[in-house]
Amino acid sequence: MARFVDVRNMVRWAAGRGAEDIMSGMIAYLEEDFRRWESFDKTPRVASHTAFGVIELMPTSTDETYGFKYVNGHPSNPARGYQTVTAFGVLADVHNGYPTFLAEMTVLTALRTAATSAMVAKRLARTDSRTLALIGCGTQAEFQALAFRAALGIESVRVWDTDPAAMEKLASNLGPLGFDVVATSSAAECVADADVITTCTADKAYATILTADLVRPGVHINAIGGDCPGKTELDSAILALGDVFVEYTPQTRIEGEIQQMPADYPVTEFWEVLTGRAPGRVSEEQITIFDSVGFAVEDFAALRFVRDAVDGTDLYEEIDLVAAPEDPKDLFGLIRAAAPARV
């Protein structure tokens, strides 16, 4: 039997333990997997693009455990009452190939994306960072704020979204949690005085959410909305202002902000910073840019974390996903045994 954490149980878990505490714990799992980055079997995700959006499969594997995520991205979904991104994921045992764990990942992806942002910002943002600017107040926004508070102690959040209702939603979600939320009326106003800037917009287009003149020295930019071919958020001049850090270079060159740059544009993979093989932030004035597109290893870490966290609780069900005939060569015998009279 495989274990299954459905939406109801994922929400129960997140609500009971708290998203902020979960993301703190998840960062430890993420760091563990980024530290053993070279031991993963890595491949760019497999995407199926249509006029409506994209559906992707994101596999990765160690010698012990295989994992993948199914995820869609449909920018026009919210206008029709659907979410932009939904997902689910699976872990399997490499030794026999059997799937062992299935989980909803719509909620979990929101948690892992923000936890990844915070893990990276812990190493790249200035240690005295006090204010987060959030451009884009969709699904990801609250999770970003909570993750940055968990990892960097940031409680002051400035927000901007072209949809005033989205800003109101964010303020009403974050206000009661102790955040100082300031709604602004432009990207320029939003990022003024910010130490960290998160861009998390959903438009599937070459967009310019942020221009170079708005970026002060010393800022850390966490660019997470540009994540597929033809979908970017930053003015390319911003990339030239600072140093660009990525998850997995071959995928980010296709999907990230650096798709705007030459194919040999210099970048640093974050696992190199984490393991001390490459420098992270080198000065107070440096502009650091995390060109995040989301990589399978992050989902792998998030799935491992949930699997371990729900062990011994009532937060999962067992499902009958793998046929188990008594004689492994006699699959047909399963059917024959169940047949009323004849097969």
Residues recognised as catalytic: 227
- DSSP, residue by residue, 91-144: EEETTT--EEEEEE-HHHHHHHHHHHHHHHHHHHS-TT--EEEEE--STTHHHH
In the complex, what is the shortest distance from the CB of residue 283 to a second copy, in angstroms, rounded to a whole number?
35
Q: What is residue 49's three-state secondary structure? A: strand
- Which ranges in the chain belong to alpha helices (H)? 7-17, 19-35, 106-124, 141-152, 164-174, 187-191, 236-241, 249-255, 270-274, 296-310, 331-338
Our CB check for a second copy shows the closer of 153 and 325 to be 325
- Applying the rule CB under 8 A, the residues between 299 and 318 that interact with a second copy are none
In the complex, what is the shortest distance from the CB of residue 210 to a second copy, in angstroms, rounded to a whole number?
20
In the complex, what is the shortest distance from the CB of residue 279 to a second copy, in angstroms, rounded to a whole number?
33
- With b meaning 16 or more CB within 10 Å and e meaning fewer, what string describes 205-226? eebebbebebbeebbbbbbbbb
Q: Show the binding pattern over residues 10-39: x = contacts a second copy (CB under 8 A), - = does not.
A: xxx-xxx-xxx-------------------
- Cα gap 4→10, rounded to integer Å: 10
What is the biggest distance separating any 2 CA atoms in the chain, rounded to whole angstroms? 79
Our CB check for a second copy shows the closer of 66 and 271 to be 66
283: contact with a second copy by CB under 8 A: no
Total residues interacting with a second copy, rule: CB under 8 A: 89
> Within 13 Å of residue 97, how many CA atoms lie on the same side as its CB?
1
Chosen residue from 48, 185, 186, 313 binding a second copy by CB under 8 A = 48
327: contact with a second copy by CB under 8 A: yes
Our CB check for a second copy shows the closer of 43 and 208 to be 43
4: contact with a second copy by CB under 8 A: yes
Chosen residue from 101, 112, 142, 293 binding a second copy by CB under 8 A = 142
User: Phi and psi of 102, rounded to 5°?
Assistant: -125, 135
- Applying the rule CB under 8 A, the residues between 60 and 119 that interact with a second copy are 61, 63, 66, 68, 70, 72-74, 77-78, 80-84, 86, 88, 90, 92, 94-99, 104, 106-107, 110
343: contact with a second copy by CB under 8 A: yes
